[in-house]
Copies of this chain bind each other. A is one copy, B any other.
Amino acid sequence: MTPDTQDSFKALADPTRRQILMQLSQQEMTIAEITDQFDMTRAAIKKHLTILEKGNLISVKTKGRERINSLETDGLKTVTDWLTYFDHFWDNKLNRLQTTIANNNTDHPDSD
């Protein structure tokens, strides 16, 4: 059950799916309820939900003939964890910028 970064990023790459997540952050919803919010068929929404589930962004519980979808934070954590890799660059950005400006007129000597 290794968190698959690719599945999570891919799931977030579609605007409809991101909107679904925002809806689900407000309340749990069945497939039909989600479909009502969009201009596409239930089958299309179901496909999106499958992708979101694979990306660990939602979880589903069955209740009679209904499937209730709710937000799952695991996939979001996978993505934010990946993004933290760049924190050190974020911190160093000002330094790099200053270095760039300092070296702006004099090209580095050995490549001339």
Measured CB to CB, the residues of A under 8 A from B are 5-6, 9-10, 12-13, 15, 18, 21-22, 25, 63, 70-71, 73, 76, 79-80, 82-83, 85-86, 88-90, 93, 96, 107
Where chain A touches its partner, the secondary structure class is helix
Give this chain's copy count: 2
Give the docked Cα–Cα distance between A83 and B25 (Å). Answer: 12
What is the CB-to-nearest-CB distance from A17 to chain B, in angstroms, rounded to a whole number?
A: 10
Give the docked Cα–Cα distance between A18 and B89 (Å). Answer: 15
Residues A83 and B89 in contact, CB atoms below 8 Å apart? no
What is the CB-to-nearest-CB distance from A68 to chain B, in angstroms, rounded to a whole number?
A: 10
Q: List 16 A-B contacts (CB under 8 A).
A: A5-B18, A6-B15, A9-B9, A9-B13, A10-B13, A12-B13, A21-B86, A22-B85, A25-B89, A63-B107, A70-B96, A71-B86, A73-B86, A73-B89, A76-B83, A83-B83
